Structure 1
């Protein structure tokens, strides 16, 4: 079953406004601090990007729907820091450390931040060659779930489960989020861009000229019959 965050194609939440007018340069000061704090905590090396995404997915549904974008980031970060032993609940509540952290030396150094952010953290890896060629007709797994970890993280959206599409691009092998989010190894797999007709996903009411392209890992796919 999908969690509340898997909102693609869900009725009742209103249209997406691509012109929402948000300008990070003019954002509230705490938004910038929230982003900086998430990046700084990433330097501690206690989790990965997939785990941080999953932490936000695990927020209480009521909180998830009422929180703003960066409130979700902060809620997920707080839970992750406690779960991974970076801080205690008491430290988080009081804002005061109960001693020197054993990972204090991993804290980001100001002089190293620019270089790290400039180069990023590539998630491409070496793995077995792709099973599907460009042009192959494939079908996604019927249920959008993590098959290794019950209730776990997955990048297969519920609205595309069981849908038939065409491989339009091979991205090479990338870290597999369904494993990496749960610290079970990178388990790199081939990654593909798969094109679906809008009508395949949304039904006859969709415009027949529209398509949706999703990046999907190989284990999400099977040959279409």
Structure 2
């Protein structure tokens, strides 16, 4: 399923203009608070990063197309808080019941932030079984980029890579599969590979056809070439 967020390789959005070194880290006074709020809410342990990404993808197309980066974060966070029953819609509008929330005792206080950020949420898992592919091997991305576990679900396979032929550059280890993790179906960890493609393999009219693009792709996204 093509979603509004899967924009790689599309025309009409203009050039990407990287910000200069003199650009401020936060462009609006509320941006840093939006990031802090999102990270602190995530630390409550009610969802994982894949669920968070999927929540942003589930925003309506008009909202996703017009919201700024951190507006998407806040809108998705509000949806997650309600979907996981952490808060109610009334809570978000200030009309909820009074009293301390049970999860407030797990709040991420300022002194805990450095350790929490340093720990992160590792996605690597113990390896099992044999690998289907090896460095240097030619592979092809499966022709259908959709999530094969949940119809219309989250995936890290970009549509522009579907059916493309590439070469295994390296094996990253065994990692949580976002396609299941985003939907509460468990880690179902798979081998993760760095796969290198020529630009002309991915796009019909690349500005630099001899350039190479490296994508990190899970084993179930790939087929023997």
TM-score range, shorter chain: over 0.9
Q: Please give the per-residue CA displacement for 1:150-187, whole angstroms capped at 9, x wherever unaligned.
A: 01000000000111100101100111100111111011
For the aligned residue pairs, the C-alpha RMSD in angstroms reads 1.6
Map of 2:213 onto structure 1: 212
Gaps of 5+ in 2: none
Matches within 5 A, 1:62-81: 62-81=62-81
State the Cα distance separating 1:204 from its structure 2 match: 5.2
State the Cα distance separating 1:197 from its structure 2 match: 0.6
State the Cα distance separating 1:123 from its structure 2 match: 1.0
What's the secondary structure of 2:152's corresponding residue? coil
State the Cα distance separating 1:114 from its structure 2 match: 1.1
CA separation of 1:110/1:164 partners in 2, compared to 1, >3 Å: closer, same or farther?
same
Bigger mean CA deviation after superposition, 11-20 or 153-162: 11-20
- Structure 1 distance, partners of 2:219, 2:177, is 9
- Structure 1 distance, partners of 2:33, 2:17, is 25
Q: Please give the per-residue CA displacement for 1:101-155, whole angstroms capped at 9, x wherever unaligned.
A: 2322222133221111122221111132422100011111111110010010000
What's the secondary structure of 2:30's corresponding residue? helix
Matches within 5 A, 1:115-194: 115-128=115-128, 129-194=130-195
Bigger mean CA deviation after superposition, 169-178 or 202-211: 202-211
- Structure 1 distance, partners of 2:206, 2:101, is 57
Gaps of 5+ in 1: none
Map of 1:14 onto structure 2: 14
Q: Is the 8 A contact 2:176 2:190 kept in 1?
A: yes
Q: Is the 8 A contact 2:140 2:165 kept in 1?
A: yes
- Structure 2 distance, partners of 1:158, 1:102, is 42
Q: TM-score, normalised by structure 2?
A: 0.93
Matches within 5 A, 1:25-104: 26-94=26-94, 97-104=97-104
Map of 2:197 onto structure 1: 196
CA separation of 1:204/1:10 partners in 2, compared to 1, >3 Å: closer, same or farther?
closer
What's the secondary structure of 1:62's corresponding residue? helix
Q: Is the 8 A contact 2:199 2:206 kept in 1?
A: no
- Structure 2 distance, partners of 1:12, 1:60, is 21
CA separation of 1:95/1:139 partners in 2, compared to 1, >3 Å: closer, same or farther?
farther
